[in-house]
Chain A
Amino acid sequence: MTTPTHAAPKTIYDKIWDAHVVDTSEDGTCLLYIDRHLVHEVTSPQAFEGLRMTGRTVRAPEKTIAVPDHNVPTTEGRDIRIDNEESRIQVDALDKNARDFKINYYPVSDIRQGIVHIVGPEQGWTLPGMTVVCGDSHTATHGAFGALAHGIGTSEVEHVLATQTLIQKKSKNMKVEITGRLRPGVTAKDITLSVIGETGTAGGTGYVIEYCGEAIRELSMEGRMTVCNMAIEGGARAGLIAPDEKTFAYVMGRPHAPKGAQWEAALAWWKTLFTDEGAHFDKVVTLRGEDIAPVVTWGTSPEDVLPITAVVPAPESFTGGKVEAAQRALDYMGLTAGQKLTDIKIDTVFIGSCTNGRIEDLRAAAAILKGKKIAVKRAMVVPGSGLVRAQAEEEGLAQIFLDAGFEWRLAGCSMCLAMNPDQLSPGERCAATSNRNFEGRQGRGGRTHLMSPAMAAAAAITGHLTDVREMMAEPAEAI
């Protein structure tokens, strides 16, 4: 409802959307301007080939940023030669496309190379109020800055390259509020997994989520990126958080952030990017921060979430098609209903990914691992970028991981999606800080349990899923 003197209250999504509409058709289909286009080697070759076939070019190369991350090995020597021929061809293709079309590029030989969703914010390409797209579903990560960011397919990558726009219909508004404060041992990863556990993997379909509430405000920028990163696992088009002083402090001074008078002008606009009092949300989900426990996934969907203190659920405890899906998940995961989650033995630990490959994640894992040894067959840390890796080495974190028995790798997506040589074998069970526990995701027959970096570190030490709160310096009150 509008009044004569005031505009209708808007959500932050409404405001960013309205600021980017180039054209609206009669049926409501919009042409939306794209401020930043991130590109990686796996979903872009066909798009660049399309441009060449049609004689088109990249409309805004200065707003386009490319980095190889999905299939690059995370071992030394990759800047000289990538052994897997198909991977090498894709990385070479990105190299050539970046040069031919004169787009910003961070090759594997550059210390700034890393996972595209970590590099973008780190270099200051991602700024509040922007529209950000990438041929990757975890583009929602950038929503942590109060940007409208989402994944697109390769045809849309080509569309954005050629026109710097996307054909879009506006999504509905959804509010996810986390009230109060988190208890010790509970992290951003536990928030985002708990939300998906609550809404289901399709609960956000058709919506853009705004995460808000005291527990979200209290999170660092790294934590906010973890929360927004997994909006897609809840089915949402995007997830975002209104920018505040923490956001501005993170952005200030980054290589591609505005400077001087432009910084002041940008800041003035960014400060208007919040949801107005009385703005309409089509769906609201509220969780109490105090009720969130350290969680793990037990099944093969990110919605299969339970507190670490729980037991493996019985398929009959579900309804509809989920009964069959849960039985299939238990068979695939090699688990029995009623089994305590903390009794599940772990073979491998993977710390990294666009969900949890930032410096704060490595600090959280190292704090648990300091002075301890792993009790699993293998454990690896894959920093999200070369700069995160360098910082972790400088802070002494790398040595803690190495002393504990972890492999210390170069930056990339690695075992999150296992396109490179970092893969699980059939039946191998992994405690992972990544975002998907789908069948075969980390390698054919591989079994994935998703959790926070601190929880993954705890599992590495004990060799089974473990409540990290039992390992913390001060015993925390169990929930």
Chain B
Amino acid sequence: MPTPPLWDQQKAMDKFTTLTGIAAPMPLLNIDTDMIIPKQFLKTIKRSGLGVNLFDEMRYNQDGSEKPDFVLNQPAYRSAEIIVAGDNFGCGSSREHAPWALLDFGIRCVISTSFADIFFSNCFKNGILPVVLPQEAVEALMDDAKKGANARITVDLESQTVTGSDGTTYAFEVDAFKKHCLLNGLDDIGLTLEKVTAIDSFEGQAAQSRPWV
């Protein structure tokens, strides 16, 4: 794979190789993007600074004080880097502010049985690894995460495995191209622009066959 030109390196995302960190349990089903980052924080024209408002309505009272029961407000999980979540995490809107907020807080990996399509794709563009595992594995890791800061989970993208604090290892699938980009922190616009001849040629043919487009 050729080295991206300088301007790509400047804006390329963080690589993801291996991560050992505290996992926060969030067993709720269907955690949607409005929960992850409510709309009032979408008015920014930047990508950064959204971590303080991650899960805003679940995390803070109306007066801005913290809700002590919320998982990321508990001392054991304040520096969590992984979330173990209920089914269908990230459903709802296409807002990339959701992975930006997770990343800004320090979350680099989310583990669930399933993810909403657009959120899943957005994670890979921002150096976050969404891991899909079967129900039993997610339940085991959820129990593990509930142990708090003593339970550190290891996620290894190269070998495609998640290892719980008791040493149990779970293998996961990941798309080869997405894995390659994440391992190397590649900007995929740069990669696509290497195929500009193919795009030119497609556009030329389409101008003949579908001139109304």
CA distance A279 to B34 in the complex (A): 38
A235 and B116 contacting across the interface, CB-CB below 8 Å:
yes
Q: Which residues from chain B contact A136 at a C-beta distance below 8 Å?
A: 93-94
The yes or no answer to B63 lying at the interface (CB within 8 A) is: no
The minimal Cβ–Cβ distance linking A146 to chain B, given in whole angstroms, is 14
B199 and A201 contacting across the interface, CB-CB below 8 Å:
no
A135 and B91 contacting across the interface, CB-CB below 8 Å:
no
The yes or no answer to B87 lying at the interface (CB within 8 A) is: yes
Residue from A127, A154, A445 with most neighbouring chain B CB atoms (10 Å): A154
B211 and A53 contacting across the interface, CB-CB below 8 Å:
no
Given A202-B88, A262-B212, CB of A31 within 8 Å of CB of B45? no
B87 and A50 contacting across the interface, CB-CB below 8 Å:
no
Residue from B176, B193, B212 with most neighbouring chain A CB atoms (10 Å): B212
The yes or no answer to B52 lying at the interface (CB within 8 A) is: no
- Which A residue's beta carbon lies closest to that of B44? A86
B38 and A22 contacting across the interface, CB-CB below 8 Å:
no
Given A164-B199, A322-B29, CB of A155 within 8 Å of CB of B114? no
- Binary A-proximity of B183-210 (CB < 8 A = 1, otherwise 0): 0000011001101101100110010001
Residue among B29, B88, B96, B206 making CB contact with A235, cutoff 8 Å:
B88
A201 and B88 contacting across the interface, CB-CB below 8 Å:
yes
Can you give 22 contacting A-B residue pairs, CB < 8 Å? Answer: A23-B195, A25-B177, A27-B175, A33-B202, A46-B96, A59-B199, A71-B42, A71-B43, A87-B43, A129-B210, A151-B118, A154-B122, A162-B189, A164-B203, A165-B199, A235-B116, A265-B211, A265-B212, A301-B30, A418-B39, A438-B92, A441-B39
CA distance A135 to B93 in the complex (A): 9
A419 and B40 contacting across the interface, CB-CB below 8 Å:
yes
B117 and A206 contacting across the interface, CB-CB below 8 Å:
yes
CA distance A164 to B192 in the complex (A): 10
The minimal Cβ–Cβ distance linking A303 to chain B, given in whole angstroms, is 8
Given A167-B177, A202-B88, A438-B35, CB of A235 within 8 Å of CB of B188? no
Contact residues of B with A, CB < 8 Å? 7-8, 10-11, 27-30, 32, 34-35, 38-40, 42-47, 57, 62, 86-88, 91-96, 99, 114-118, 121-122, 125-126, 175-177, 188-189, 192-193, 195-196, 198-199, 202-203, 206, 210-213
Report A433-447 residues with CB < 8 Å from chain B CB.
Answer: 436, 438-441, 444-445
The minimal Cβ–Cβ distance linking B130 to chain A, given in whole angstroms, is 13
B8 and A202 contacting across the interface, CB-CB below 8 Å:
no
The yes or no answer to A64 lying at the interface (CB within 8 A) is: no
Q: Which residues from chain B contact A154 at a C-beta distance below 8 Å?
A: 96, 122
- Among all A-B residue pairs, the 3 with the closest Cβ atoms: A258-B212, A86-B43, A155-B125
- Binary B-proximity of A44-56 (CB < 8 A = 1, otherwise 0): 0110011001111
Contact residues of A with B, CB < 8 Å? 19, 22-23, 25, 27, 29, 31, 33, 35, 42-43, 45-46, 49-50, 53-56, 59, 63, 70-71, 84, 86-87, 89-90, 93, 127, 129-130, 135-137, 150-156, 158-159, 162-165, 167, 169, 201-202, 205-206, 232, 235-237, 257-258, 262-263, 265-266, 269, 301, 321-322, 324-325, 328, 417-419, 426, 436, 438-441, 444-445
A23 and B45 contacting across the interface, CB-CB below 8 Å:
no
B176 and A202 contacting across the interface, CB-CB below 8 Å:
no
The minimal Cβ–Cβ distance linking B191 to chain A, given in whole angstroms, is 8
CA distance A232 to B193 in the complex (A): 30
Given A235-B116, A262-B212, CB of A31 within 8 Å of CB of B30? no
Q: Which residues from chain A contact B213 at a C-beta distance below 8 Å?
A: 35, 63, 127, 130
Q: Which residues from chain B contact A324 at a C-beta distance below 8 Å?
A: 27-29
Q: Which residues from chain B contact A137 at a C-beta distance below 8 Å?
A: 92-94, 118
The minimal Cβ–Cβ distance linking A302 to chain B, given in whole angstroms, is 9
B212 and A31 contacting across the interface, CB-CB below 8 Å:
no
The minimal Cβ–Cβ distance linking A128 to chain B, given in whole angstroms, is 11
- Which B residue's beta carbon lies closest to that of A63? B213
CA distance A445 to B10 in the complex (A): 41
A163 and B121 contacting across the interface, CB-CB below 8 Å:
no
- Which B residue's beta carbon lies closest to that of A60? B203
Q: A33-B199, A53-B7 are in contact. List 6 more A-B contacts (CB 8 A).
A: A22-B195, A27-B177, A158-B189, A164-B199, A206-B117, A419-B40
Given A23-B195, A163-B192, A205-B116, CB of A328 within 8 Å of CB of B177? no
Residue from B10, B47, B189, B192 with most neighbouring chain A CB atoms (10 Å): B189
Given A153-B121, A201-B88, A201-B91, CB of A163 within 8 Å of CB of B189? yes
A419 and B210 contacting across the interface, CB-CB below 8 Å:
no
CA distance A257 to B122 in the complex (A): 33
Q: Which residues from chain B contact A55 at a C-beta distance below 8 Å?
A: 7
Q: Which residues from chain B contact A129 at a C-beta distance below 8 Å?
A: 210
CA distance A45 to B27 in the complex (A): 34
B43 and A90 contacting across the interface, CB-CB below 8 Å:
yes
- Which B residue's beta carbon lies closest to that of A86? B43
Q: Which residues from chain B contact A158 at a C-beta distance below 8 Å?
A: 189
Q: Which residues from chain B contact A328 at a C-beta distance below 8 Å?
A: 28
CA distance A169 to B124 in the complex (A): 14
CA distance A22 to B39 in the complex (A): 36
- Which A residue's beta carbon lies closest to that of B89? A202
Residue among A150, A165, A232, A419 making CB contact with B192, cutoff 8 Å:
A165
Q: Which residues from chain B contact A436 at a C-beta distance below 8 Å?
A: 32, 34, 92-93
The minimal Cβ–Cβ distance linking A140 to chain B, given in whole angstroms, is 11
Residue among B10, B46, B115 making CB contact with A46, cutoff 8 Å:
B46
B177 and A441 contacting across the interface, CB-CB below 8 Å:
no
The minimal Cβ–Cβ distance linking A129 to chain B, given in whole angstroms, is 8
Given A25-B177, A33-B203, A46-B47, CB of A54 within 8 Å of CB of B212? no
- Which B residue's beta carbon lies closest to that of A71? B43
Given A153-B94, A325-B30, A418-B39, CB of A162 within 8 Å of CB of B193? yes
